Amino acid sequence: MSENRSEKMVQQSRRRVGVFGWGVVAPGCDDVDSFREKLYQGGSWLESFEEFGPSNFLVGKPDFDLEKYHPWIDERFPPNRFRQLQSKMGLTTLMAVGSFIQALEQNPGIEETLQELGNAAHVYVGTGLGDLPTISEVALTADKAQRNWDAFWAHPDNCPARAAFDAGDARPDTLSELPDHPESLPVADQEEARITWNKYWAAQSSKLKEYLVESREIEGVNVVGEVESNKTSVIRGKMKKAAQLRKDWGVPEEPWNAISPNLLWNIHSSVATQITMMGKITGPSFSPVAACSTFGVALKLGMDAIQRGEAEAVVIGASDPPPHPMVVGAFNAARVLSNDGDVSKPLTGLRGTHISGGSCVWIIGDLEKMTARGFTPIGMEPIGVGLTSDADHIIPPSEEGPTASIHSALCSADAKVEEVTSWDLHCTATPGDFLEVQNARKLFPEDILMTARKGTFGHGMGVCGGWELTAQMIAGEEGQVAPTSLEDAELNSQISDIHGNFLLGDSVNLPEGLAGKLSMGVGGINACVISRPWASEKNPEVR
């Protein structure tokens, strides 16, 4: 029995993985075809960020319109599904759905196969940031509603204790921890003090307590009898009575009723679960969250599931929201963002990176089984992924962590360092670029071709590795590595002293050999991917 188990493990380890579909939403690109076209045009895809008003920030704004997928959705779902998606889902999830639909197009029939596979079709699509725009919008609405609510009940007409205090009739010993009166403070402090002042008096309002008693009576009605037939009428009855209660009292909307349920529909897992719903995929799904290494982590998890025999096909990927003031401001405060109105390119002035948003979704599968079904692999063959943690610092990478991930990827690919001939850097146009190149050169020879693409499309948190890997895979199809926005004269002198073979503003032939890609995430999460070209561009038979 032990020999059979050992033989089975060997067979599983030999399973090979192919990419059978991909979709992209990126700065200025609404699909993978426009992504491919823009790659070979070169230049930068960044533009001005206007959310602060005029500013010096440049960002990568994804080009996305759900309307493009309206016919596809209407062919498969009731007419109201498209409207539901528009009203309930944020762009983070919608862009992932759009990229998934694109990914189905490379191999007709793969949509039905994903459905037929049942538990053997998985979905691992993650996010680095989640749907911050929806979170921000809900938070601002909740804050405004709470302020209005407190101000209403703090007014002397609605708070007898406040009325007595204003009239000088309240004894000081009856008022515990009375906050400073807003008008007793400097003007700059009055707004925040007024929030505290109103919250205090709202809590003292006996009329608010009466209101809440009446509200409890309405909300305390149970569903009785037949659950399915009666639950809707009970809910509607509560809503009608609650609206009448608000009207009778003349109150503003309660803060708990002002908060949109869209906050729940757009939690981190929604990028994966919506794909399962739109694709009618019934296998397991979840959303890995691994900062800038999210895509590489998703790929590793998907390949492992295939090699274990648990999955025949896995939808993997990452999606992040369009640039948002919260994200731009946070990155700026962390001193890793450029703010001078010019494109900050990796390997040059090291002034900082640029925030971008979008999505990238692949369909990967068991090479033997998927080709037997008639599907054709695209791009290159991912043959190894290595994951490690620095266990050191939240931002600057260590030498040991990324290096260990490279060794792990090479080991899983059964490859040697000298077989790797092209290497895509994580470089973010920060001082870490120097360390990354220096560490890479301790492993790889001087003739290895290095690319760095965040000067082209910026830094999507979880999705950046997906864009960069897709660009690398496209080079495998085209036989040409797309140019970067880098110019030789811009190279940081200390970096150019370490390595001299960086891809600049012109395409070059893809070197024969393996391609490597390193991602290094906030918190020290590292993902290294090793890929190899198919034997023939026109006839991608496995080799």
Domain annotation for the chain: domains and CATH numbers: 18-131+266-533 (3.40.47.10), 135-258 (no CATH)
Q: What is the mean pLDDT of residues 263-268?
A: 97
Q: Of all residues in the chain, what percent carry a pLDDT higher than 90?
A: 89
HEC string of 249-302 equals: HCCCCCHHHHCCCHHHHCCCCHHHHHHHHHHCCCCCEECCCCHHHHHHHHHHHH
Give the pLDDT score at 537: 44
Rounded Cα–Cα distance for residues 206 and 160 (Å): 7
User: Residue 235 pLDDT > 70, yes or no?
Assistant: yes
Structure tokens at 49: 């960020």
Q: Report DSSP state, residue 490.
A: G
Give the pLDDT score at 174: 61
Rounded Cα–Cα distance for residues 454 and 473 (Å): 17
Q: Report DSSP state, residue 101.
A: H
Phi, psi of 64 (to 5 degrees): -145, 135
Query: Which residues, including other chains, have CB under 8 Å from residue 64's CB and lie 6 or more apart?
Result: 25, 30, 91, 94, 95, 98, 358
- Coil, strand or helix at 441: helix
Task: List pLDDT tens digits, range 99-126.
Answer: 999 999 999 999 999 999 999 999 999 9
Give the pLDDT score at 247: 96
Q: Are 382 and 409 in contact (CB under 8 A)?
A: no
Q: How do strand 459-460 and strand 358-366 relate by DSSP bridges?
A: unpaired
The confidence band for 5, taking pLDDT boundaries of 50, 70 and 90, is: very low
Give the pLDDT score at 228: 80
Taking the CB of residue 249, how many other CB atoms lie within 10 A of it?
16
User: Residue 306 pLDDT > 60, yes or no?
Assistant: yes
Q: What is the mean pLDDT of residues 180-186?
A: 93
Average predicted confidence (pLDDT) for the chain: 93
Give the pLDDT score at 430: 95
The pTM score is: 0.93
Rounded Cα–Cα distance for residues 60 and 47 (Å): 6
User: Residue 518 pLDDT > 50, yes or no?
Assistant: yes
The confidence band for 10, taking pLDDT boundaries of 50, 70 and 90, is: very low
Structure tokens at 291: 């900062």
Structure tokens at 270: 């929604």
Residue whose pair of structure tokens reads 């864009």 in the numeric block = 467
Rounded Cα–Cα distance for residues 495 and 353 (Å): 17
Q: What is the mean pLDDT of residues 494-521?
A: 96
Q: Are 102 and 24 in contact (CB under 8 A)?
A: yes
Give the pLDDT score at 171: 64
Task: List pLDDT tens digits, range 307-318.
Answer: 999 999 999 999
Give the pLDDT score at 536: 54
Task: List pLDDT tens digits, range 435-489.
Answer: 999 999 999 999 999 999 999 999 999 999 999 999 999 999 999 999 999 999 9
Q: Cα separations (Å) of 168 from 163, 171, 182, 411? A: 9, 8, 18, 80
The confidence band for 4, taking pLDDT boundaries of 50, 70 and 90, is: very low
Q: Largest Cα–Cα distance in the chain?
A: 91
Nearest partner of 461 among 284, 276, 271, 286, judged by Cα: 271
Rounded Cα–Cα distance for residues 362 and 100 (Å): 7
Residue whose pair of structure tokens reads 């266990």 in the numeric block = 391
Output the CA torsion 455→457→463→464 (10° steps): -20
Q: 132-154 and 325-333 are packed helices; what angle lies between their axes, rounded to 10 degrees?
A: 100
Element (H, E) at 515: strand 514-521
Task: List pLDDT tens digits, range 393-418.
Answer: 998 889 999 999 999 999 999 999 99
Give the pLDDT score at 114: 98
Q: Are 161 and 170 in contact (CB under 8 A)?
A: yes
Q: What is the mean pLDDT of residues 484-502?
A: 95
Give the pLDDT score at 13: 56
Q: Are 407 and 386 in contact (CB under 8 A)?
A: yes
Structure tokens at 121: 């079709």
The confidence band for 175, taking pLDDT boundaries of 50, 70 and 90, is: low
Rounded Cα–Cα distance for residues 477 and 536 (Å): 9
Q: What is the mean pLDDT of residues 68-76?
A: 98
3-state helix, strand, coil in the chain (%, to 5): 50, 15, 35
Q: What is the mean pLDDT of residues 134-160?
A: 97
Rounded Cα–Cα distance for residues 514 and 446 (Å): 15
Give the pLDDT score at 218: 92
Phi, psi of 516 (to 5 degrees): -120, 155
Residue whose pair of structure tokens reads 């890997």 in the numeric block = 469
Give the pLDDT score at 172: 57
Rounded Cα–Cα distance for residues 24 and 460 (Å): 12
Rounded Cα–Cα distance for residues 178 and 172 (Å): 9
Give the pLDDT score at 541: 47
Rounded Cα–Cα distance for residues 345 and 214 (Å): 62
Q: Are 368 and 16 in contact (CB under 8 A)?
A: yes
